[in-house]
């Protein structure tokens, strides 16, 4: 995608999609490098030296960081062109911004990386940075019909990224294709092996993982997930059906652990500007401070147990196929949809990749998610490209 194509899509679609919090007024000549000329968008929780950075909060409106976040600096040095900062929910939490779903402006694009997913879906950027703490990359990618990649926890430096809950915060990427998401992630992680890929002959065993929340998925989402697994099977891979994990409590536990971290990370905002925090955000902080250390230790005991349960799955298979979200993007713009099918993997910390696959009852895009063991990012990306090829 050229810069001109991106700018032309922005002119045509941004008035309705509202993906950007700030658009760059001019674009410097890109550096030479593996991303030379790639037009990208950056979620507004990453600091940028040349654009305001407000973290989706009125408290930070007009803030001008002195430096680029590490991921942004790496992308820029590799030749990416920063189109602008994309809308995030308040501090990458739950209170949505103005972005609409490019496939239906009456529906949420998902969150918290709302603008990044929507910008890529609307052809306004070739790739984009996002972050995921619960389900903030995979869910909006599925809702907007683009690829979302949350790499292994820690793979992309969080320096210069606004912290929400350090125990889980993970930077990642969006792209119209697996290759585009991988290309930006490879640079941001400074792991050149993540893109381009050598040809490979690997035959990973696929685990079809319906999870403990299968019944809450829409029928079309269930069908898409199973169809993805069957498609990979037809392409020559072995697929094993995995039983439910019995960890349904993990969603509530992660929510508590996030509240603990958030209440501490936002001590300055809570002290200096309490009235400029949304009621939802205030409630999260209050919840985090109400937990005792003993309760917090028990929460983590459970989370470690959930991590162990997921790790045990990888004794039986190499990569999981599982829903990216309960179904298509819900109607309405006052919420961003539930991270039901995301929290377990954010807790686990392995790479997650959402690939557009199938359609919901209203014709909206669905996503199917691949999950690998920590460090197996390349395996997941290559399998994702294979899955994507099945539907092209």
Q: Where in the sequence numbering do the catalytic residues fall? A: 43, 112, 136
Q: Determine, following the binding rule CB under 8 A, whether residue 160 of this chain makes contact with a copy of itself.
A: yes
Of 271, 279, 315, 392, the one binding a copy of itself (CB under 8 A) is 271
Residue 230: CB partners within 8 Å, gap ≥ 6?
239
Buried b (16+ CB within 10 A) or exposed e, 147-163: bbbbbbbebbbbebbbb
The conformation of residue 216, written as its DSSP 8-state character, comes to G
Asked, as a colleague might, if the bond just before 196 is cis with ω within 30 of 0, I would say: yes
Which residues inside 169-198 make contact with a copy of itself, applying CB under 8 A?
189-191, 193
Taking the complex as a whole, the smallest distance from the CB of residue 98 to a copy of itself amounts, in Å, to 24
Binding mask 281-300 for a copy of itself (x = CB under 8 A): --------x--xx---x---
- HSE-up of residue 52 (Cα within 13 Å, Cβ side): 15
User: Cα angle at 200 between 198 and 205, to 5 degrees?
Assistant: 140
Q: Per CB under 8 A, which of residues 50..79 are in contact with a copy of itself?
A: 60, 63, 66-74, 76-77
Distance of closest approach, residue 378 Cβ to a copy of itself, in angstroms? 9
Q: Angle formed by the axes of helices 250-265 and 293-313, to 10°? A: 130
Q: Which is nearer to a copy of itself, 21 or 141 (CB)?
A: 21
18: contact with a copy of itself by CB under 8 A: no
Question: Binding a copy of itself by CB under 8 A: which of 158, 176, 183, 210?
Answer: 158
Count of other CB atoms within 10 angstroms of residue 297: 10
Shortest distance in whole angstroms from residue 300 CB to a copy of itself? 8
Question: By rule CB under 8 A, what count of residues binds a copy of itself?
Answer: 44
Among 106, 159, 286, 331, binds a copy of itself (CB under 8 A): 159
Residue owning tokens 């809450």: 216
Q: Where are the alpha helices (DSSP H) in the chain?
A: 3-17, 70-77, 114-121, 138-144, 178-188, 219-234, 250-265, 267-272, 279-290, 293-313, 343-348, 377-390
We find the least distance from the C-beta atom of residue 8 to a copy of itself, in angstroms, to be 29
User: Taking contact as CB under 8 A, which single stretch among the options 102-110, 114-122, 266-274, 358-366 is the one that binds a copy of itself?
Assistant: 266-274
Q: Which residues bind a copy of itself (CB under 8 A)?
A: 49, 60, 63, 66-74, 76-77, 154, 156-160, 162-163, 166-167, 189-191, 193, 261, 263-272, 289, 292-293, 297, 375
């Amino acid at each position: 995608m050229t810069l001109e194509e991106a700018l032309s899509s922005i002119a045509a679609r941004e008035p309705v999609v509202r993906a950007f919090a700030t658009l760059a007024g001019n674009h410097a000549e890109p550096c030479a490098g593996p991303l030379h000329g790639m037009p990208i968008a950056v979620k507004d929780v990453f600091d940028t030296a040349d654009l305001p950075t407000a973290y989706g909060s009125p408290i930070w409106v007009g803030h001008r960081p002195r430096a680029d976040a590490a991921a942004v600096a790496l992308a820029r040095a590799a030749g990416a062109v920063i189109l602008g900062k994309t809308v995030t929910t308040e501090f990458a939490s739950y209170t949505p911004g103005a972005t609409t779903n490019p496939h239906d402006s009456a529906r949420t694009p998902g969150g918290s990386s709302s603008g990044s997913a929507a910008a890529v879906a609307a052809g306004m950027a070739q790739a984009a940075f996002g972050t995921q703490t619960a389900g903030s990359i995979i869910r909006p990618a599925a809702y907007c019909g683009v690829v979302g990649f949350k790499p292994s926890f820690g793979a992309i430096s969080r320096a210069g990224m606004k912290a929400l809950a350090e125990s889980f915060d993970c930077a990642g990427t969006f792209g119209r294709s697996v290759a585009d998401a991988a290309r930006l992630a490879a640079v941001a992680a400074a792991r050149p092996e993540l893109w381009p890929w050598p040809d490979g002959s690997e035959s990973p065993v696929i685990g079809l993982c319906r999870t403990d929340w299968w019944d809450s998925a829409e029928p079309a989402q269930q069908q898409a997930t199973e169809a993805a697994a069957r498609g990979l099977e037809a392409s020559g891979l072995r697929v094993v059906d995995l039983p439910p994990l019995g960890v349904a409590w993990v969603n509530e536990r992660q929510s508590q652990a996030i509240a603990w971290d958030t209440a501490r990370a936002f001590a300055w905002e809570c002290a200096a500007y309490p009235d400029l925090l949304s009621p939802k955000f205030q409630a999260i902080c209050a919840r985090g401070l109400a937990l005792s250390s003993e309760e917090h230790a028990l929460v983590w005991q459970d989370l470690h147990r959930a991590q162990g349960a997921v790790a045990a799955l990888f004794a039986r298979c190499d990569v999981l196929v599982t829903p990216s979200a309960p179904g298509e993007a819900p109607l309405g713009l006052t919420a961003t949809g539930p991270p039901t099918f995301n929290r377990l993997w954010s807790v686990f910390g392995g790479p997650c990749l959402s690939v557009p696959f199938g359609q919901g009852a209203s014709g909206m895009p669905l996503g199917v998610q691949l999950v690998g063991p920590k460090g197996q990012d390349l395996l997941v990306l290559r399998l994702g490209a294979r899955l994507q090829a099945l539907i092209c």
